[in-house]
Amino acid sequence: MFETLPHPKPDAILAQMAPFKVDTRPDKMNLGVGVYMNDKGETIILDSVKEAERRLLEQETTKTYVGLAGDVAYNEAMKEIVFGDAAPAGRVYGLQAPGGSGSLRVLAELMARMRPNAKVWVSTPTWPNHYALLKTGNIEIAEYPYFDPETCSVDFDAMTAKLRTLGSDDVVILHGCCHNPTGANLSPAQWDEVAEIAVETGFLPFFDIAYQGFGDGLEEDAYGVRKFASTVKEMLVAVSCSKNFGIYRDRVGCAFVMGGTEETATLANENIQNIARGMYSMPPDHGASVVRIIWQDPELRQQWMDELKTMCTRMTSLRNLLAESFRKQGGGDRFDFVAVHRGMFSLLGLTPEQVDKLRQDHAIYMIGDSRVNIAGMQEQNIDRFVAAVLEVTQG
Ligand code: PMP
């Protein structure tokens, strides 16, 4: 029977890992894969995570199921991290889920239950896996304008013009911070305006926040979610701990529902638990316990926040060095946006041919849409990278 199966389209991000591996050129650069790397190109385990794992191993007394919502104390910790003081009392519930992806999927199913004919709006462009994770039932996926490839920044006028036309059957996916793949983000004043539009039009905001702390800081990066939490009646928030705790393979995330009243929030909470039961029953425990242990211990929490800051500062300083190098090597101000972008990624605005040329002639690997992982660079190869980009764009 298997012969009737179609060949799925290869994942663009995962597909380019294989040719990189077999490339024997010693100065090859992998800017494609979406994980944080330190200045030696390694994705190490944070010290705070190692210590929490040690404690977990020592203290754990049972492996019995954690319950449908997962670890309730973990969900509380995540609520504090993401919402701060902005969560309206009794109206926000969290569900521990397998990664940001699992959270997105659970909330997509909830959306399909509430509004079987909803239209979900994603930014142009967005993280490609959004299409697969959000597509369920009759849900239609549409795109709102977001990135202006001319300026490599947000086309806010076009974005808000589209959002103003939406209504209560529309759901809008908003990247909480560090937009993937573009790196271009909304300012606090722009978040305020989008929140007002949500109130006026009644569209349902659905946040995806996967890089909190990778942009301007843990608090700063939560501005959008918190502004909405204190402005709109209802919203959905999918959170990933993969990047900011560096625990990618442990699959740690949280799906939040915020209801207009305590009653409707409870109802939504019952439903996400019921949805999770039908998908994977219970979430994996290890990574979520690590996050809980870190957050609950003041010293470990501080250590984690320092480690997060180190990752964040490294990316910001690489961005500044890149922009400087572009100017120094004759790129003018065209690439200044790299220093303004935030998070792990920037979309450089190159053509697929230019991206191919970078791979063939310079052993520089990025995603076909010209998304680069800033953390994949090292100070000592910035000038080489910039020279290569200028050669393919100007040559
Ligand atoms: N949302 C966005 C925008 C992402 O970039 C990612 C990770 N690439 C996720 C969600 C999901 O992350 P994970 O499932 O690995 O926690």
Residue 298: predicted pLDDT: 98
Record: fold of 10-43+305-394: Aspartate Aminotransferase, domain 1 (3.90.1150)
Rg (CA), the chain: 21
Give yes or no: 210 in active site.
yes
Residue 250: predicted pLDDT: 98
Q: Using CA positions, which residue lies closest to atom 1 of ligand 1?
A: 210
| HSE value, Cβ hemisphere, 13 Å, CA-based, for 359 | 23
Q: For the whole model, what pTM was predicted? A: 0.97
Q: How far is 60 from 54, CA to CA, in rounded Å?
A: 10
The predicted-structure confidence for 154-179, as pLDDT tens digits, reads as follows 999 999 999 999 999 999 999 999 99
Ligand 1 pocket check for 180: Cβ under 6 Å: yes
Please state the atom number of ligand 1 nearest to the C-alpha of residue 240.
16
The β-bridge relationship of strands 235-240 and 253-258 is antiparallel
Residue 100: predicted pLDDT: 98
Residue 2: predicted pLDDT: 95
State the catalytic residue, choosing from 208, 221, 250, 285: 208
State the catalytic residue, choosing from 77, 97, 108, 210: 210
Q: Across the chain, where does the E strand assignment appear?
A: 29-30, 92-97, 119-124, 140-145, 147-148, 153-154, 170-175, 204-209, 235-240, 253-258, 345-347, 364-365, 371-373
The predicted-structure confidence for 81-138, as pLDDT tens digits, reads as follows 999 999 999 999 999 999 999 999 999 999 999 999 999 999 999 999 999 999 998 8
Residue 331: predicted pLDDT: 82
Q: Which residues of the chain have pLDDT under 70?
A: 395
Our mutation pick for probing the ligand 1 site, out of 33, 43, 78, 101, counting the most ligand atoms within 8 A of Cβ, is 101
Distance 243 CA to ligand 1 centre (A): 8
Ligand 1 pocket check for 96: Cβ under 6 Å: no
Look at residues 162, 163, 105 and name the one whose alpha carbon lies nearest to residue 139.
Answer: 105
Second CATH level (architecture) for the domain 65-296: 3-Layer(aba) Sandwich (3.40)
Give yes or no: 295 in active site.
no
Residue 13: predicted pLDDT: 73
| The token pair that represents 34 in the structure block | 């979406």
Residue 115 CB partners (closer than 8 Å, separation 6+): 169, 171, 204
Ligand 1 pocket check for 210: Cβ under 6 Å: yes
Ligand 1 pocket check for 123: Cβ under 6 Å: no
Domain boundaries, the chain: 10-43+305-394, 65-296
Residue 190: predicted pLDDT: 98
Average model confidence (pLDDT) for the chain? 96
Ligand 1 pocket check for 30: Cβ under 6 Å: no
| The token pair that represents 209 in the structure block | 């926040």
Q: How far is 191 from 266, CA to CA, in rounded Å?
A: 27
Residue 33: predicted pLDDT: 87
